[in-house]
Amino acid sequence: MPNYNERGYTGLQQFMGFVETAYHRDLRWPGVQPLYSRMRRSDPEVSIVRVIFSALARGINLQVELPDKATDKDKRAGEFIEQTMEDMDGGQSTFIDTLIGNVPFFGWGWWEIVPGMRSETWTPPGEDDWRSQYKDNLIGIRRLGWRDSSSFFKWDFSDNGKVRGMTQYIYPEPEVTLPLEDSLHLTFGDAHNPEGLTPLEAVWRLERIKYGLEIVQGMGFEHSAGYLSVKTEKKLDDTDKVAIREAARAIMTAQEGNYATWPAGFVGELMDVNFAAAASILEAIKYYGVLKLQLFNMQWVALSATTGTGSLAAMSDSSSMFMVTFNAMMDGFASQIDKKLVSKLAQWNPSIFTGLTARPRITVTPLGKKVSLSELAQLLAPIRDTMPMGDEDFAAIRKLTGFLPEALPDTARVPSGNAEAPANDTPQAQASLQARWARYMLQHPDMVKEVARDV
């Protein structure tokens, strides 16, 4: 007989509900939250990443994937999951915005799964104004309640080191522990650590170095503005020192008028200083800025703009790699969301999820990089004579451009032979011309390349 006891430990370094894996004590939760929050909000390079992530999140959509040869029950279960994601407070767009703006930066995120009855006679407890738009008496999700990391106090661990919940504490309210079974807990970077592994842990070191260089640069520029040299043969008393100080302020500060009067026996001269290290310090500051972007695979943002070097090809290759990693990150989040939400809905509504071929899965639509006409021509040139293309291929290619409509125009009324063509100013004629021109471009990529180059 097998031994069903679990004898090992996770190996996670934790004590009394606090994880101690960070390489510096200043980077341990919950004390690190204000530091990470400041970096996420105000660090220039991290802010660039956050803004781009937020923009890309607008193109992200959670969808339900059904098994092959789905039955009516499979389709009904998939439809129910889709309805639930749109029926919850804020919809999936609010959830995705919160996810992408927090989890990749803090390393983890916590949502409380709040159930709701899909019935016109049911009202939530308290002053909650949520009402379901469906009336089938099933149990859905009325809200994925975001629990901000600033309220985190400690983790609730089991004896073998697995997380059972998250404890919140906001003064003067009492502590509250949210059980994992009723929550959605997403991690980024380390699936075995409830706090994940945030890139900001590495950014922190680079930020300190970059900040120190910026201080040195500022002091150097201040000193290179010059200094006031004062010569005298007499011994200085307190009155002389005050006069020199006032004269220096008047000369060195534009608002004071750039002039000074000297007591008898004093000679003053403004001395200029060459800041020889300015260029090398500036390059070091740029290097650490690019290095911070590189932690998020976004160094392409700084090419040619911040660094002054780079090429269009390097930027294109780097941005393509970034899209691959971004899609992989979102796919990882979707896998965690799918595992938790679908199992929770199945627990609440067993009648919907029994007798399925395979349970529906929550996936994410990957983002694709837009392709220029010249790149499209280079892609099609070697395959146009060996690979026949149909309407589905043309529709997919149109989608890659980012500006052509995905659906092919209606070509049913395209004239052929000696048939009478419609007037050129009718919508049918315009659609026919657009359809023929689109097919002509795809069938003659060399011509498209010439046109793109001329434009």
User: What average pLDDT score do residues 392-397 get?
Assistant: 71
User: What average pLDDT score do residues 52-72 get?
Assistant: 92
If one counts every other C-beta atom within 10 angstroms of the C-beta of residue 105, the result is 24
If one counts every other C-beta atom within 10 angstroms of the C-beta of residue 201, the result is 20
Cα radius of gyration (the chain):
32
Say yes or no to pLDDT of 452 above 60.
no
Instruction: List, in sequence order, every residue forming a beta bridge with 419; answer none if it has no partner.
Output: none
User: What average pLDDT score do residues 209-219 get?
Assistant: 93
Considering 210-214, 220-224, 245-249, 419-423, the range whose residues carry the highest mean pLDDT is: 210-214
Q: Using CA atoms, how far apart are residues 336 and 341, in angstroms rounded to an integer?
A: 9
pTM of the model: 0.75
Largest CA distance in the chain: 111
Pairing of strands 152-157, 18-19: unpaired
Whole-number pLDDT of residue 413: 46
Nearest to 303 by CA among 290, 292, 291: 290
Distance of CA 50 to the CA centre of its chain: 5
Whole-number pLDDT of residue 414: 44
Whole-number pLDDT of residue 421: 46
- DSSP string over 174-205: PPEEEEGGGEEEEESS-TTSTT---THHHHHH
Please enumerate in sequence order all residues whose Cβ is within 8 A of that of 71, keeping only pairs 6 or more positions apart, or say none.
Answer: 356, 357
Whole-number pLDDT of residue 177: 96
371-393 exposure pattern, b = at least 16 Cβ within 10 A, e = fewer: bebbbbbeebeeebeeeeeeeee
Considering only residues 5 and 444, tell me which one the structure prediction assigns the higher pLDDT.
Answer: 5
User: What average pLDDT score do residues 62-89 get?
Assistant: 95
Q: Using CA atoms, how far apart are residues 315 and 293, in angstroms rounded to an integer?
A: 13
Whole-number pLDDT of residue 416: 47
Whole-number pLDDT of residue 309: 58
Considering only residues 395 and 53, tell me which one the structure prediction assigns the higher pLDDT.
Answer: 53
- Environment class of 453 (CB within 10 Å of its CB; exposed 0-12, middle 13-18, buried 19+): exposed
Say yes or no to pLDDT of 433 above 70.
no
Whole-number pLDDT of residue 269: 80
For 154-165, the pLDDT digits (tens) are 999 988 788 999
CB 358 within 8 A of CB 329: no
Nearest to 224 by CA among 268, 257, 271: 271
